[in-house]
Every structure is written in C-alpha cells, then in structure tokens.
Amino acid sequence: MTSIDELFKSHNGTKRKFENPIEADPSQAYKSVKLQGSSDVKRSAQVEEEEDDDEAGPALPPDFEDEEPGDDEEGRFFGGGLDENAKDAMDFLDAQDGEDVIREEKYDAAWVRKLARDFEKKVNKNASLRAKYESDPTKFMESEADLDDGIKDLSILSEHAELYEEFAQSTAAPKLVELLAHENTDIAIAAIEIISELTDEDVSGEQEQWDALVAAFLDADLLGLLISNFSRFDEGDPTDASGVYHSLSVLENLLSQPSNTDTIGKEKALLTWLLERIQKPEKPTTQNKQYASELLSILTQSSRPNRTLIADANGVEIFLTNLAPYRRDDPEKDSDEEEYMENLFNCLTSIVEEPIGKTKFLEAEGAELCLLLVRDGKTSKSRALKVLDHACGYAEAPASNGSSTDDAPAPPHIAVCEKLIEARGLKPLFSTFMKTKRPDPSQTEHILGIFSSLLRSLPGNSDARFRLLAKFMENDFAKISKLIALRREYITRLSTFDKSIASRKDGLTAEEQEELEVENTPLRLSEGLYALQRIDATLAWLVAEDDGAKKAVVVGLAETDETLADVKKTLQAQLDGVLEVEAAEREVLEALVGFLD
C-alpha cells in the first residue's frame, strides 16, 4: 500500500533573490556607485552628452538626414571623409567583426577541461603569491581580482549541465570548494554563490549529472566549510549577509534531494547554528532569519530522525518561545516575518508527531500555549489547532525496559490528550467548532481530528473522558447535530469530485484506473475524505459510548435517508483503501466497524 507521507511529500521550491540592504539605504547605495568602474561613469556622461546634442546647436540643413553620404558633391564636408583605400580597409575590418559576432563557442568536454585548467591556474597563482608575499597585499591583489573573474567564469557551466560529470571529475571542483576557506571572505562568498548557482534544482539537466557534481562537492567537505563560515560572517555587513544567504541557498539546493536530508540533519553544528539564528531579535525580520527557519522546516518535515535530533536539541521549547508573541500580535501580511512564523509552526507540527516531540511539548507547556493561541490568536489560531491535532495523534510509544507498573507514565499521545482536557481546552475547542459565522475550513478539520484522537486515546471511565462525552450530550446533542450537518457538506464535495474522476476513467484499463485512483488520493482527502473519515470515526465512538448519543446520530442521519451502515461504509473503505493503515489504527477501525453492525 502507498504511504500517505509519500503522497504528500513535496517541497515548494520557488527560488528567491537576496535583497541587499544597500538598495534601501541611500548612503550605502552612494558608496556602491563610487566603487563601480570609471567606464560606467564615462558611459553615463556620454549618454547625457548625446541627449544634450538633441537640443543644443544650430538646426540641421533642410533634408540633411535624407541625403546619402555618397550624394555629397564636395565629399569631405558632408561625406564620410575617407578615400577609396581607407574605405576598403574599413570594409575588411567590418567583415572580420561580423565573423567574430556569428562565431559560436563550442561547449564540449574539451571546453570544460580548458575552463577547469584556467580556473585552477588562477587558484594556484593566487595561493602562491599569497604565501610568498603574505605581508604585502599589493603583490597579490591583481591575482585576487583574476581569481574572482575565474570564479565568475564558471557561471556559464550552469547552462550546460551535460558537462557537470566532466567538471566533477576534474580537480577544479574540489578547488572551488576549498575557496570557501579563502582568507578573503569576498572570494569565499563568490565561490559560495557559484556553487549555489550550479546546484540549483532548476538547472536543466539529468539527475545523474546533478548528483555527480554534488557528490564531488560533498567529498571536498562542502558541508563542513559552509558551516564553519557562519561563524566568521558578520551579518551587519551587507556582503557577509549575502554570504550567509547564499550558504543557506546551497543547503536548500542539497535538501531538494531526499537522500541528503539525513546527512545534513546529522550536522550538529548546523542544527545548533540554525536554532540560534532563528532566536536572534530582529525588527523587521530579515531574509536570513526567515531562511534559517525554512531550512529547519524542511529538515523536520522530510525526516523522522531529524525531528528527534531537533527535539533533543531543545527545539520544541525554542519554537514555542518564539511563537508566544503571536498570541496577540499578527505579523505583517506577506512579509518575511509571516513566513518565519509559518515555518516555526510547521517545525512544531512535524516534531510533535514523534513520541519524544510529544513529551517535550508537554514539558514546555506547549498544550497550554496552543490553547491560548486558539482562544486569543488570529493568524496563529488555525496553526495552533494544527499543532494540537498532530500532538494528540497516535504515536508508537518508545520500547520499555521490560517491566511495567501502574505508576508508569501514560504513552505520550495519551498524556497530551489528558493535558488538553486538564488545561480546560474543551471550551475554546467547542466554541470554535460551533461558530456559525464563516467558519475556517482548516480550523474545522483540525478540530475534527482532535475530537477523533481524544475519543480514541482518553482512558475509559476516566474523568477526562466523561467530561468530553458530556460536551457532546449538552444542549440537546447540538454538537452531534453539527457533526452530521458537516458530514453532509463533505459528502457533497466528495461526490462532485468523484464524478469528475469517474469521467476520466472511461476507456482506461483496470491498471490505469487504479493508477489514477492512487494519483488522486491526496486530492480526494483534501476535498472532504479526510474530514469525513474523522467525523464518522467520532460518530462511531459516540454510538458505542452512549445510547442517547446513538439515538441522536440515528435520527440525524435519517433526515437524509442515511443509516449507521453509511458510517460503517466510510470506515470500511478506509481499511480497504490504497493508503497504508498502521496495525494499531487498523485494530481501532475494526472495533468501530463492529459497533456499527
């Protein structure tokens, strides 16, 4: 069976551009202009003179612009001023220039070998002069400029990914990585930027070509050198800030390949730096702070081992501490800060999927904070509900040491469910659920998930369970009526979607129809199947728990000529579906199906 994690595993890879702070600072912009070559100034002056010429001076003679140079009888005054020999010479030069223009460079193995040799010569020359004239920078400044040009010359390689394997086999690839440790941070940053460009996931080429180049870079200790540079870059300087930005970009490029995720996550120094970087106070939030949070989000969403490592590194408490301010204050819409907040919630949501994440969540009073966000938050409200939904979800408890007692702590998912009741979470949850004014669909679906998890995990005959059931019974079973009304809405949405899929199945073989069904399962879940499954599981639990609730469910279903058999059908389809159902979950679903017979 297909795992739901595989179906939903994706990475939004919109490439960004570093926003240089000097563009917003006039004094820095002025300094930047002063550092440009004099040719730009001359070119600007020339343009101004040409513009002035349009308005200055006497008017041209009548029909001057229409006359051909050859029509001038006096030749030298209004003509070109060239005799025949000079004209022949100019024609020859023009012809040569034309050939140069149309002559195209041939990009092949020989070209990339020459590119690599030229680059290595510049690297070696600079290293030699730096060693020889260590105390006199004037002696190696010119070679440094040549080296910078040599690094930039490698940029064209990104347009010819078919040559990546050839370049990877040369010694130029590790030489480029070695430049990350260059004494001149400008050279190191230039090298990082080129590596980012070459490893960009949008480079057109085969996966094998990209893999070959990345393997060569990693073998040359790319990760270690990238991480070590974080400590020597001063982000107060715009150039160094761009170095951090491009370093993060390289890491993001590497993470686009799932096989690199665990490798990068094991770099303890990197996780430490990322967790420290997202805590740095900033107003407004900078690109680099947001980018650091995004890398943590990628690392946690794509790897279970990484979630455990970040939880062990106090990640849960760090995320909660930095999310607490959003209880009352919303970030500016479409800002780096909004993305930063979203990334922290994503990290937290992923980590609380794991048993250790749930335990750390409880220790850091995460349930209490999320309930406050549900009660008082605006933008943060739906995100907090999502965290609670995942925190309450079932997770296999860690293996015990072989002995168990009555005093042993409850499994983490049960402990979270109990804490949610203990922290008076039912009131804000049901209050949000029962709102009739433009309910947020995502909030509703997360609350449905929480209801299902609470009924599944809270111990029978416990005070917490009785308090939950009492909420469903109060006000003449109003909450059950709301569940059934929502059920009808999701069935309608799902029916419309299924009809569109059915029309696409016409003429397909059985195998092709099955492939189409698997392909559309994520869409089916988002179009109402997930919510329907949660609702019917909740209804099944209520039917099993209380005769009064069972009667309310039966009466509510009958309004649209449905019965408990229709609820059973949903749960049975989940058991028989294309998605893998874990053994513990299968056992619960089978028990619920039995209650509905």
pLDDT of residue 86: 61
In the chain, the largest separation of any two C-alpha atoms, in whole Å, equals: 116
The verdict on residue 309 lying in a domain is no
356-368 average pLDDT score: 97
Task: Give yes or no for a contact between 468 and 551, defined as CB atoms under 8 angstroms apart.
Answer: no
pLDDT of residue 437: 76
186-199 average pLDDT score: 97
| pLDDT band, residue 190 (cuts 50/70/90) | very high
The verdict on residue 527 lying in a domain is yes
pLDDT of residue 242: 97
Task: Give yes or no for a contact between 517 and 579, defined as CB atoms under 8 angstroms apart.
Answer: no
| pLDDT band, residue 506 (cuts 50/70/90) | confident
pLDDT of residue 106: 87
pLDDT of residue 27: 39
Q: How many domains does the chain have?
A: 2
Half-sphere exposure of residue 98: CA atoms within 13 angstroms, side-chain side: 6
The shares of helix, strand and coil residues in the chain, as percent rounded to the nearest 5, are: 70, 0, 25
Neighbours of 93 (CB within 10 A): 10
Q: Answer whether residue 510 shows pLDDT above 60.
A: yes
pLDDT of residue 507: 82
The verdict on residue 514 lying in a domain is yes
pLDDT of residue 397: 60
448-472 average pLDDT score: 96
pLDDT of residue 479: 97
The verdict on residue 62 lying in a domain is no
Tens-digit pLDDT profile for residues 18-46: 665 544 443 343 333 333 333 343 334 34
Q: Answer whether residue 466 shows pLDDT above 50.
A: yes
Neighbours of 583 (CB within 10 A): 7
CA–chain centroid gap for 479, Å, is: 38
Tens-digit pLDDT profile for residues 389-435: 999 999 876 555 444 455 667 899 999 999 999 999 999 999 999 98
pLDDT of residue 427: 96
The verdict on residue 242 lying in a domain is yes
pLDDT of residue 517: 84
pLDDT of residue 34: 34
> What is d(CA 111, CA 147) in angstroms, rounded to the nearest whole number?
19
Task: Give yes or no for a contact between 448 and 432, defined as CB atoms under 8 angstroms apart.
Answer: no
The verdict on residue 462 lying in a domain is no
Q: Which of 205, 235, 256 is the last residue of a domain?
A: 256
The 8-class DSSP code of residue 58 comes to P
Which of 72-86, 164-178, 430-444, 575-589 is predicted with the least confidence, judged by mean pLDDT?
72-86
Using DSSP's 3-state secondary structure scheme, residue 2 falls into: strand
Task: Give yes or no for a contact between 293 and 338, defined as CB atoms under 8 angstroms apart.
Answer: no
Q: Which of 256, 288, 321 is the last residue of a domain?
A: 256
The verdict on residue 316 lying in a domain is no
Q: Which of 224, 256, 288 is the last residue of a domain?
A: 256
Q: Domain range for residue 140?
A: 106-256
pLDDT of residue 303: 93
* Higher-scoring residue by pLDDT: 3, 239: 239
The verdict on residue 239 lying in a domain is yes
DSSP codes of every residue in 385-421: HHHHHHHHS--PPPP--S---TTSPPPHHHHHHHHHH
Tens-digit pLDDT profile for residues 69-117: 444 444 433 445 556 666 666 666 665 555 545 557 788 999 999 999 9
- The CA-to-CA distance between both ends of the chain, in Å, stands at 27
Using DSSP's 3-state secondary structure scheme, residue 563 falls into: coil
DSSP codes of every residue in 316-331: HHHHHHHHGGGGT-PP
297-325 average pLDDT score: 96
Q: How far is CA 66 from CA 70, 82, 160, 254, in A?
A: 12, 20, 48, 62
Smallest Cα–Cα separation from 184: which of 146, 158, 222? 146
Average confidence score pLDDT of the chain: 85
